[in-house]
Amino acid sequence: MGLIKSLRGHTPQMGADCFIAETAVLIGEVAMGDQCSVWYNAVIRGDVHYIRMGNKVNVQDGVMIHGTFQKAATEIGDNVSIGHNAIVHGCTLHDNVLIGMGSIVMDHCIVGSGSIIAAGAVLPQGTVVPEGSIYAGVPARKIGEVSPELREGEIRRIADAYVKYAGWYREP
């Protein structure tokens, strides 16, 4: 299990069947649901504002999740995948969202359910991504709609796969 640090009277809370890699860091006011995974060198820092995560959220290697003091908490729904080295900062990610590797989601952004943020995309502060949208680029713009095939073949598949991968790490 990684570094779990209490701060300012708050201790990170985890639901059932979660995996926290040995080099992951969780600090302060962090709450996550069931079947979540936090992978190597990921940091979830609930020191200046709360971070709430639903069920089956995977926070992949090198991800940073944070907020802004007294201004922007981070709320993450169910079945969300946050790709390697992404930054999720003071925003809201609804259910069934895929955040691509190396992307940045800034304060007060709202990513609607069933959306994909492409690898390397940057969502500037306050961007609202409509449900079922694909956003890419710097700054990110809408480039398409998420098809039923993408919803099941990518968003759902990745969330389910990370539950399976986490199970491998719990095996004796």
Q: What is the pLDDT of residues 101-151, one digit of tens each?
A: 999 999 999 999 999 999 999 999 999 999 999 999 999 999 999 999 999
Q: What are 149's two structure tokens?
A: 């095939």
Q: Are 158 and 81 in contact (CB under 8 A)?
A: yes
What is the token pair recorded at 58? 């995977």
- Which region holds residue 96: left if phi is over 0, alpha if psi is between -120 and 50, else beta? left
Q: In the prediction, which pLDDT does 1 show? A: 81
Is pLDDT of 172 > 90?
no
Q: How confident is the model at residue 56 (pLDDT cuts 50, 70, 90)?
A: very high
The domain ranges of the chain are: 3-170
Note the pLDDT of residue 165.
97
The separation between the first and the last C-alpha atoms of the chain, rounded to the nearest angstrom, is 15
* CATH class of this structure's domain 3-170: mainly beta
Note if the pTM is more than 0.95.
Answer: yes
Residues near 83 by Cβ (< 8 Å), separated by ≥ 6? 60, 63, 98, 99, 100, 101, 102, 103, 119
